[in-house]
Amino acid sequence: MTVQGFRHEPYDWRGQTEWMFSLGASEGPQAIILPPLFEEMNFTRAFIVDIARGLAAAGIGSWLPDLPGTGESLRDLATIGWDDWRDAAHGIGETIMALTDSRPHVVALRGGALLADAIEGRSWWSFAPASGASLLRQLQRTQIVTDRDRKQAEPSDPERISIYAGYPISAAMRTGLTGAEIPVLPSPHRAAPAELLDDRAKLWRRAEPGRDPELAAKLADDIAHWIATCERH
């Protein structure tokens, strides 16, 4: 088994290069981590890295992709629709398969669960999945407060690019999110234990980004045991 530190890996999406981080073993079980979406991602980024480090310690390689229009992507989020993200998620899974000769286990947190069924994975694990409509409402609430403070009102044109919590959301993204229900993920699937879903676990609701090393270690341990179980069958 070859163990490596953080590294950038490219994936191709519609003729352009997008990026993902990889950490841990380059052989053996691999896990793609689909993070929360939009502002929730900013609140949980360090927390997700802690989970990836825990998986690396258990001998599991982790992949943390930037979806088109996010992170290191050079694309403008305003040009991206919901179906684009689902298509990219499928492509990310195929890229990892080609690089490792192994179907990745899919680890999905919050809004990431809405994309998890687009990946042909080995297994699925989810943490506090959220519907697209609920994520959009939260973004809208945040923007309403911002607009109120600035004494602005958003025009009602449904075809325009809307700015929600600093994110330019296209009409196609808005429509897709509104209809994105929490999917019934393929089998085998495990949901995070209910006892780990208390208020402390809701890092995305805190006043500012933060970490919870204890919770990250518990989640990494649960994921690692789940993956080990799936690998034996």
pLDDT tens-digit profile of 162-173? 888 889 999 999
pTM of the model: 0.89
pLDDT at 53 over 60: yes
Average pLDDT over residues 189-200: 80
Q: What pLDDT, on the 0 to 100 scale, is given for residue 172?
A: 95
Q: Once rounded to an integer, what is the mean pLDDT over residues 25-41?
A: 93
pLDDT, residue 132, reads 96
CA–CA separation, 169 vs 84, rounded Å?
Answer: 13
Residue 61 confidence (pLDDT): 96
Residue 200 has what pLDDT?
Answer: 57
Residue-wise pLDDT for 55-104, tens only, equals: 999 999 999 999 999 999 999 999 999 999 999 999 999 999 999 999 99
User: Picking from 168-182, 187-201, 210-224, which range would have the lowest pLDDT averaged per residue?
Assistant: 187-201
Quick: pLDDT tens for 103-162: 999 999 999 999 999 999 999 999 999 999 999 998 888 766 555 555 555 544 555 678
pLDDT band at 206 (very low <50, low <70, confident <90, very high): low
Residue 1 has pLDDT above 60, yes or no: no
All structural domains of the chain: 3-131+182-231 (3.40.50.1820)
Residue 126, both tokens: 């989810």
Residue 203: the pLDDT is 73
Q: Provide DSSP, the chain.
A: --EEEEEEEEEEETTEEEEEEEEEESSS-EEEEE---THHHHHHHHHHHHHHHHHHHTT-EEEEEPPTTSTT--S-GGG--HHHHHHHHHHHHHHHHHHHSSPPEEEEEGGGHHHHTTS--S-EEEES---HHHHHHHHHHHHHHHHHHHT------TTSPEEETTEEE-HHHHHHHHT-PPP-PPSSEEEPPGGG-SGGG-GGGSSS----HHHHHHHHHHHHHHHHHHHT-
Name the range with the highest mean pLDDT among 1-5, 43-47, 116-120.
116-120
